[in-house]
Amino acid sequence: MGLPAIPIVNDPGLDEAVKDLTPEKISNVVNRIIDSETAARFKVYMKTCVHCGLCSDACHWFLSNDRDPRFSPVGKVKQTLWEIIKRKDSLDPAFLKECSRIAHTECNVCRRCSMYCPFGIDIAYLLMVVRRICSELEMVPQFLQDTVNSHSVTMNQMWVKQDEWIDTLQWQEEEAKGEIKTARIPLDKEGADVFYSVIAPEPKILAQLIGNIAQIMAVAKVDWTMPSFDGWDNSNMAMFSGDFETMGRVERYHHEAAQKLKARRIVMGECGHAFRGAAYDGPRWLGWRQPPIPLIHAVDFYHELITTGRIKIARKFKTPVTVQEPCNIVRGRGLGQKLREIIAATCEDFTPPDPDFEHNYCCGAGGGVINCGPPWKTSRVKGNRVKAEQLADTKAQIIITPCHNCHSGIEDIISGYKLGMHVKFFSEILMEVMEIPDEMRA
């Protein structure tokens, strides 16, 4: 068909593992996963799809790669699952590398396509089945697998040791106290109203965000705590590699940490995938209909603080802003409206992106794709040109991005397409505009 060749990417995680594969090993895993781990959804979706291609326009990969059919949602299912089902017992190892490339690095499991398929087929779920098969065959991009290994050894994503964690919290408490006298980071406090959890990159590379939240909590006079022990990290890369056993352990630790401290509810920092893991993918795997302790995302929490007046806005943010609506909290939890309301309450000059709300484009980083690391960065940035165009059209200077994955993904897009914009978490905006009573100031 004259399609351009897809560049070959060397990824030791895949290139080494592929050497150990044989068609028998592959067929054992494929049969086990398909027979014992999938049921009605998988079977009905496979029977129902009429190969109409109407899901194509949903996918930013397809749109950004000049409508290359290999990047359409159903195109990705065709190149992976349809082949797997057709040739179950004679799949060659090299094909599995293709599967991992497509399912792990060229789909963000953002689920936009399930809003475009007239049958509501959950294509992201189908591609997760492919990831599951790959993961069971140890075919996972190296960087992604490293985060999973870290989860399974340390219960956090970035090999953070417990003493480092506590040190970081104490350091950030000092920083926060330098601004606001009453700022504290209460560790292991029982019965607090709020159990606050973050993802491991915060203590590792973005520690000031923890200092910020300590100040916000102090100003809003929230009764809160963080655990000194494992379970503080709410991120979950195993959910995206296909290692659901580890995913389940990580989610259980997180929820149990909050239970141990008898917290009234869990408030999660500004991260979308972590919220997805804690709010539905995790509970699903663990067989819980709902998480045991109520759980809300930071956007929900800030909305509550602002609308109840516990945080007052001193002056609105003046620079023109737009928003990156994270899939996992907007399409995944309907927080689009609340996000708009807190932006309206804090920013003067807001331009919405188009399309928006549930129809937002994914940042291109989510679903574990950015965690596949530098080898896959070029294709990831190329695969989201539509995002760059959409952001450029808003003519904003700041992109409010209440998600860690989106944050990094959008930064890559800004530099890749030379947009000259900047990304901020909502808490960073809040820090600039909230009213701090004089008696609190250090």
Partner 1 sequence: MYEFVSGPLVWIAFIVFVSGMVYQFVIMLRSAKKDKVIYPYMSLKYSLRSLFHWIIPFASRNMRDRYEVTIVTFLFHICLILVPILLIAHIAMFSFAWGLKWMALSQGSATYMTIIVILACLFFFIRRLMLPEVQFVTYPSDYLLLAIAAAPFITGLAANQQWFDYQTTVIIHMITGSIMLMVIPFTRLSHMLFFPFTRAYMGSEFGAVRNARDW
Cite the DSSP H helix spans in 137-263: 142-154, 162-177, 201-205, 208-220, 238-241, 244-260
Helices 93-100 & 23-32 angle (0-180, nearest 10):
50
Candidates 34, 49, 194, 323: give the one binding ligand SF4 (CB under 6 A).
49
Q: Assess contact for 369 and 108: CB atoms under 8 A.
A: yes
Q: Please state whether beta strands 224-225 and 194-197 pair in parallel, antiparallel, or not at all (unpaired).
A: parallel
Question: What are 328's two structure tokens?
Answer: 């996992």
Q: In the complex, what is the shortest distance from the CB of residue 230 to partner 1, in angstroms, rounded to a whole number?
A: 27
Return the residue nearest ligand HEM (CB atom): 118
Question: 175 to each of 167, 207, 226, 279, 432, how far by Cα in Å?
Answer: 12, 10, 17, 32, 16
Residue entry with tokens 């539509």:
386
Q: Which residues bind partner 1 (CB under 8 A)?
A: 1, 38-45, 47-54, 56-58, 62, 67-70, 72, 74-75, 78, 114-116, 118-122, 280, 284, 287, 289, 330-336, 357-359
Cite the DSSP H helix spans in 137-161: 142-154
Q: If binding is defined by CB under 6 A, does position 109 make contact with ligand SF4?
A: yes
Window 381-410: contact mask with ligand HEM (x via CB under 6 A): ------------------------------
Q: In the complex, what is the shortest distance from the CB of residue 9 to ligand SF4, in angstroms, rounded to a whole number?
A: 18
Query: Taking CB within 5 to 8 Å according to partner kind, which of ligand HEM, ligand SF4, partner 1, none is near residue 110?
Result: ligand SF4
**400: enclosing H helix or E strand:** strand 398-400
Residue entry with tokens 């915060």:
202
Q: In the complex, what is the shortest distance from the CB of residue 435 to ligand SF4, in angstroms, rounded to a whole number?
A: 40
Question: 102 to each of 208, 241, 286, how far by Cα in Å?
Answer: 36, 13, 27
What's the alpha-carbon Rg for the chain, to the nearest Å? Answer: 22
State how far the Cα of 281 lies from the Cα of 272, in Å rounded to an integer: 12
State how far the Cα of 36 lies from the Cα of 45, in Å rounded to an integer: 17
Chain positions 114 to 153 lying near ligand SF4, rule: CB under 6 A, are 117, 119, 121, 123-124
CB nearer to ligand HEM: give 53 or 375.
53
Chain positions 116 to 145 lying near ligand HEM, rule: CB under 6 A, are 118-119
Side chain identity at residue 255, one-letter code:
H
Interacting span for ligand SF4 (CB under 6 A) from 27-35, 49-57, 218-226, 287-295: 49-57
Q: What are phi and psi of 181, to 5 degrees?
A: -55, -40
Chain positions 351 to 380 lying near ligand SF4, rule: CB under 6 A, are 362
Q: In the complex, what is the shortest distance from the CB of residue 117 to ligand HEM, in angstroms, rounded to a whole number?
A: 8
CB nearer to ligand SF4: give 107 or 209.
107
CB nearer to ligand SF4: give 51 or 86.
51
Q: If binding is defined by CB under 6 A, does position 50 make contact with ligand HEM?
A: yes
Q: Please state whether beta strands 265-268 and 224-225 pair in parallel, antiparallel, or not at all (unpaired).
A: unpaired
Interface residues with ligand HEM (CB under 6 A) are 50, 52, 54, 118-119
Interface residues with ligand SF4 (CB under 6 A) are 49-55, 58-59, 61, 73-74, 76, 107-113, 117, 119, 121, 123-124, 362
